Amino acid sequence: MTSSLFSPVSQVPGVGPRRAEVLERLGITSIWRLLFHLPTRYEDLGHPTPIAELRLGEPTTVRAKVVKTLERRPRGRSHVRSLLTVRVWDGTAELHLVFFNQKYLKEVFLPEREFYVYGRPELSGRVLQMASPDYEPVVAALEHSPVRAVYPLTEGISQRAMRAFIASGLDYFNRWGEETLPEAVLAQLKFPPLGKALAMVHTPYAFAKAQGRADDWRRYAELGRKRLAFEELLYLQLQVQRRRRRLTEVCIEPYGPEADAPMPWLPGAFIQGLPFALTKAQERAVVEIAADLRRPVPMHRLLVGDVGSGKTVVFLYALLYAIAHNDQAALLAPTEVLAEQHYQTITKLLSHLPVSVSLLTGSTGRLERQGTLWDVGAGQAQLTVGTHAVLEDDLEFRRLRMVVIDEQHKFGVRQRARLVEKGRHPHLLVTSATPIPRTLALTLYGDLDLTVLDEMPPGRTAVETHWVDESHLREVYADIRRRVAAGQRAFIVCPLIEASEALPDLSPLLSVYEDLSNRVLPTCRSPVCTEA
């Protein structure tokens, strides 16, 4: 692969500094990452859905004519200067298209003009609408291709713009890109060359049509996606093995048996002082961690377990093992709420032990922060619990030897590295409550040893995780009604508060709340919370 593909994405025609900043929020920083920003689905403009058959909450494409446009300024929304409603009709029913602060669209949606519209249908009162949908005139759309890729977006970029950037990226690859796999591997796996695979995924219909097999475009898209998935997994494994090799090359002074520590009784006293017995899974985890800490290389271990499985006790044992040897330990949490919760839990569990615990978050007062910085730098603070504030340059540890990162997937590689770099090759234990199959965990985190807490303490209700697509929402809401009627409660979490033009696939809280209150769950008391 030529290094030019790792050039900044700003080298793609049409991507200026502002657009480059927006793309960076999607993780797109280079031309290579742009090309591997893959579609989540495809719009088949040749088979639009009749408006009368739309399913609420399910993103889809309709083909309809403009009936009328209406512009007004809504009350009580200072950030919404204009609200444009476009009424469209397809012969089966009427649909309202709602656009915020885009009054210029009155000159686009002229009566009798026909458009393809893609978005998420929802009810506003008794009116069927799409908020900030993607759109394209029928004539212009059919000139390009009846099949269009639909990409993950972020605020500030549209599907039309993303497709244009991808097209420029494909042109760039055709000029400068090279194959990354040996011909023998391609032949063995029956994979297409990289350039063809990219075209298959981003423009499957055009590729299939060029082969004289337009009706097979879905098969070509799937084949291209498999090739690109192999590419990503290959590079992931190369990076994992490189990191693991670097880790094994580091040599440190191992911890001896607990009996040799300045405070040999500390970890055992903690376990014995717990008001409950450890589960077999917790006992196994403690043994594995203790064995790691006695090796002459830093521990790098992933601790996985559902909420309530007892991860706190396990990682607290690891922290105390370091403290027992007169070293410092740090616990990094992704939010202030979680950091404070950990601080309160830990101080309660260690109330009978001589361990100093400090809390450092963005809300820590100036004087208290200065005192904590001094205690940590002098080595007097044995355990520091905090958020991103722990990563600041002015926090210096005297002898940091143990780092625990809770909910590690919420931190970037650089953030984790910044904390680790505050010590001299400290031991690292990261945790996750995200259910993940063991084989997948070993694939993604192959540089980490894996410990799974696969049982709950007595009396704890097992956590069940179910995934359903949007076609089963009625069954989900019916289950919620039954549970609420039985005296239970339910939480519905939405990714947005209000509709976003850039993210039409995501359900906004206000629309979902209105729909639930008026139609789906009218008998349930449903307060709204926009902060957590």
The secondary element (H helix, E strand) that includes residue 61 is strand 60-72
Residues 345 and 407 in one domain: yes
pLDDT for res 481:
84
Any domain includes 374? yes
CA distances from 167 to 11, 151, 201, 225, 303 (A): 13, 13, 12, 17, 42
Residues 33 and 111 in one domain: no
**Euclidean distance between CA atoms 372 and 343, whole angstroms:** 14
Any domain includes 392? yes
Overall number of domains in the chain: 4
Residues 34 and 100 in one domain: no
pLDDT for res 45:
82
Residues 140 and 265 in one domain: no
Any domain includes 332? yes
Residues 391 and 294 in one domain: yes
Any domain includes 502? yes
Residues 310 and 262 in one domain: yes
Amino acid identity, position 135:
Y
Task: Name the nearest CA neighbour of 457 among 273, 241, 309.
Answer: 309
Q: Please give the backbone phi and psi of residue 247, each rounded to the nearest 5 degrees, phi first.
A: -65, -40
pLDDT for res 485:
84
**Hey, what are 307's tokens?**
């909420």
**Euclidean distance between CA atoms 151 and 141, whole angstroms:** 17
For tokens 């330990």, name the residue: 329
Domain closes at, from 148, 177, 192:
148
Q: Give the structural domain span for 172.
A: 3-41+161-236
Q: Report the C-alpha dihedral over residues 39, 41, 47, 48, rounded to 10 degrees.
A: -100
**Euclidean distance between CA atoms 299 and 430, whole angstroms:** 10
Residues 223 and 79 in one domain: no
Residuewise pLDDT in 10s, the chain (532 residues): 455 788 899 988 888 899 999 999 999 999 999 999 999 989 888 789 999 999 888 888 899 999 999 998 776 555 667 889 999 999 999 999 999 888 899 999 999 999 999 888 998 888 999 998 888 888 776 667 788 899 998 888 888 899 999 999 999 999 888 888 999 999 999 999 999 999 999 999 999 999 999 999 999 999 999 999 999 889 888 888 888 788 778 888 888 766 566 788 888 899 999 888 999 999 999 999 999 999 999 999 999 988 888 999 999 999 999 999 999 999 999 999 999 999 999 999 999 999 999 999 989 899 999 999 999 999 999 999 999 999 999 999 999 999 999 987 777 777 878 888 999 899 999 998 876 666 566 666 767 888 988 888 877 766 677 888 777 778 888 888 888 888 888 888 877 776 665 565 666 776 777 777 777 777 677 666 655 4
The secondary element (H helix, E strand) that includes residue 71 is strand 60-72
The secondary element (H helix, E strand) that includes residue 134 is strand 134-137
Any domain includes 508? yes
**Euclidean distance between CA atoms 337 and 358, whole angstroms:** 15
Any domain includes 354? yes
Any domain includes 155? no
pLDDT for res 504:
59
pLDDT in tens, 240-255: 888 878 877 888 888 8
Residues 205 and 273 in one domain: no
Residues 419 and 303 in one domain: yes
Any domain includes 359? yes
pLDDT in tens, 285-344: 999 999 999 999 999 999 998 888 899 999 999 999 999 999 999 999 999 999 999 999
Report whether 504 contacts 130 (CB < 8 A). yes
pLDDT for res 49:
93
pLDDT for res 256:
75
CATH number, domain with residue 129 = 2.40.50.140
CATH number, domain with residue 383 = 3.40.50.300
Domain closes at, from 205, 236, 267:
236
Computed over every residue of the chain, the mean pLDDT equals 86
pLDDT for res 480:
85
Axis crossing angle, helix 194-202 with helix 159-176, rounded to the nearest 10:
160
Residues 417 and 295 in one domain: yes
For tokens 């423009």, name the residue: 203
Residues 191 and 144 in one domain: no
CB crowding 399-416: b at 16 or more within 10 Å, else e: ebbbbbbbbbeebeeebb
Residues 357 and 389 in one domain: yes
CA distances from 25 to 36, 155, 158, 228 (A): 15, 9, 14, 22
Give rounded-to-5 percent helix, strand, coil for the chain.
Answer: 40, 20, 40
pLDDT for res 235:
86
pLDDT for res 259:
57
- Non-local (6+) Cβ contacts of 413 within 8 A are none
**Euclidean distance between CA atoms 509 and 494, whole angstroms:** 5
Task: Name the nearest CA neighbour of 156 among 289, 25, 271, 315.
Answer: 25
Residues of the chain above pLDDT 70, percent: 89
Domain closes at, from 453, 478, 500:
453
Across 392-474, the runs of DSSP E, i.e. the strands, are 400-405, 427-432, 449-453
DSSP 497: S
